[in-house]
Amino acid sequence: MMASNYNAKEEDGHQPAAIGHGGAGTVKNKKPDNTAFKQQRLPAWQPILTAGTVLPAFFVIGLIFIPIGIGLFVTSNNIKELEIDYTGVDMSSPCYNCSQSYSWNSTKPCTCSVPFSLDQPFESNVFMYYGLSNFYQNHRRYVKSRDDSQLNGDKASLKSPSKECEPYRTSDEKPIAPCGAIANSLFNDTLELYYIDPNGSRTAIPLVKKGIAWWTDKHVKFRNPGGNDNLTVVFQGTSKPVNWRKSVYELDPSDPDNNGFINEDFIVWMRTAALPTFRKLYRIIHKKPNMTPTLPLGRYILEVTYNYPVRSFEGRKRMILSTISWMGGKNPFLGIAYITVGSVCFFLGIVLLIIHHKYGNRNHSADIRS
C-alpha cells in the first residue's frame, strides 16, 4: 500500500549504516537481544500423537463414557412421562369439535374432556407441560417482535412500544401492552386435571401455577410498571393485544404477585423456544406430604378449555405429565449417545492397536535422509 519505496531519509544516506562510516563506535550496537522470546527458544511442551498416548486415551474415553451412558439411560428410563395429544385432528377425538370451530373472539369457551389412564403411579413432584408442534417460535420476525423495556416496566416504552413490535404495536391508536407478536400469540388454553376415583367421582388435582418461570425472568426481566399495585391504573391508556380476551392486568386478578407482566404463564410463553416443536411448563403438581404417590395409577380426565387454534398450520397441541430427575426430563438420547460413542471409542482403540502392532514399526526405523 505504500505509495512509493522512496523515503526521503534514504536519499541522503542517512541510514544508521551510512553514519557508521564516520562516527564509528558512537552508534549503539545493533545486536538483537538474547531473550528466549526473540530467539524463538521459549520453553515449550511438544506433544505428539504416539501409540502410547492415543490408544490409552481411546480406551479411557470408552471406559468413562459407557458407564455414564448407562447411568443416563437408566435415569431417563426411570422418568415417567405421559403425553396426550388433544389437538383434535381425528373425528374420534373429544376435542374435534372445538378444533373445528374456533375464533379468537368467540365469547363462549369451547371445552372438551380427554380421558386417559395412568398404568403406573407418578411419584414426587409431577410437572405438567403443554407442548406445541410446528410452531415457529424461533422465527426471526417472531423472536424480535417484543419490547424488553416495556416488559421490564419502563413507562415510556409502555406508552410507545418499540418498532420491533409492529404490527402489534398499537391498536386503535393506543399502545398495546404487552406489544409484539409473541405476546399476542400467548397460549390461552386452560388445562385442568381430574382424578376419577374407582367409584366414578371426580377429584380435581391441585395445579400450582407459580414457580414455573425462571427466577431471573420473574424478578429481573419482567416487571410491572410502577410496581404491582393497582395495575388497572397503570395500564390505563393501553390496549390489550389483539388476540387476547382480557387485558394484561386481568391475567390473574386474584394474585397481585402473578398479574400483569409478571404473570408466570405469560413469562414462560415469552421465553421463546429454540425449535419448532417445544413444550412449556404449565403447572406443577406438588407431591403429597404422605407416602401416597402424587398421581396414583388410575383413570383421569383432562379438561381443556380449547381456545388456541393450531389446526390452520398443522400444529399439534399436547399435554405432558412428567416426573424429573437430576438430568431433567425424559430424553434417552444422551444416554444412548454416550454408550455409542464410548463403544466406538473402545472399538477404535482396539482397531488402532491392531494396526499399530502390524505396521507400527514403520515409524521406528526413522530412516530419514538427512
Q: Is 353 in the site for another protein (CB under 8 A)?
A: no
Least Å from the CB of residue 97 to another protein: 20
Number of residues that bind another protein (CB under 8 A): 129
Residue placing its CB nearer to another protein in the complex, 70 or 344: 344
Contacts (CB under 8 A) with another protein, residues 175-204: 181, 184-185
Q: Is 149 in the site for another protein (CB under 8 A)?
A: yes
Least Å from the CB of residue 340 to another protein: 10
Residue placing its CB nearer to another protein in the complex, 196 or 327: 327
Q: Is 170 in the site for another protein (CB under 8 A)?
A: no
Give the 3-state secondary structure of residue 307.
coil
> Whole-angstrom Cα distance, residue 107 to residue 19?
97
Walk across the sheet containing 81-85 and list its strands: 81-85, 316-322, 126-133, 278-285
CB 293, CB 101: distance < 8 Å? no
> Could you tell me which stretch among 23-31, 228-236, 288-296, 297-305 binds another protein (CB under 8 A)?
23-31
Cβ partners under 8 Å of residue 308, min gap 6? 187, 188, 189, 317
Nearest to 99 by CA among 277, 307, 320: 307
With CB under 8 A as the contact rule, the residue among 85, 123, 192, 217 that binds another protein is: 217
Residue placing its CB nearer to another protein in the complex, 115 or 211: 211
Least Å from the CB of residue 110 to another protein: 17
Residue placing its CB nearer to another protein in the complex, 196 or 341: 341
CA torsion 200→116→195→206, rounded to 10°?
A: -160
Q: Is 213 in the site for another protein (CB under 8 A)?
A: yes
With CB under 8 A as the contact rule, the residue among 39, 100, 101, 160 that binds another protein is: 39
Give the 3-state secondary structure of residue 141.
helix
Nearest to 183 by CA among 192, 173, 171: 171
- Rounded to 10°, the helix 332-359/51-78 angle is 160
Q: Is 288 in the site for another protein (CB under 8 A)?
A: no
Burial 186-205 (b: 16+ CB within 10 A, else e): bbbbebebbbeeeeeeeeeb
Q: Is 143 in the site for another protein (CB under 8 A)?
A: yes
Contacts (CB under 8 A) with another protein, residues 83-122: none
> Whole-angstrom Cα distance, residue 122 to residue 129?
15
* Cell reading at 87: 389437538
Return the ∠ at Cα 164 (arms to 158 and 167), rounded to 5°. Answer: 90
> Could you tell me which stretch among 30-38, 93-101, 108-116, 251-259 binds another protein (CB under 8 A)?
30-38
| Phi, psi at 239, each rounded to 5° | -115, 150
Least Å from the CB of residue 243 to another protein: 8
Residue placing its CB nearer to another protein in the complex, 65 or 94: 65
Q: Is 362 in the site for another protein (CB under 8 A)?
A: yes
Q: Is 20 in the site for another protein (CB under 8 A)?
A: yes
Residue placing its CB nearer to another protein in the complex, 77 or 232: 77
Q: Is 26 in the site for another protein (CB under 8 A)?
A: no
Q: Is 309 in the site for another protein (CB under 8 A)?
A: yes
In one letter, which amino acid is 352?
A: L
Q: Is 9 in the site for another protein (CB under 8 A)?
A: yes
Q: Is 246 in the site for another protein (CB under 8 A)?
A: no
Q: Is 249 in the site for another protein (CB under 8 A)?
A: no
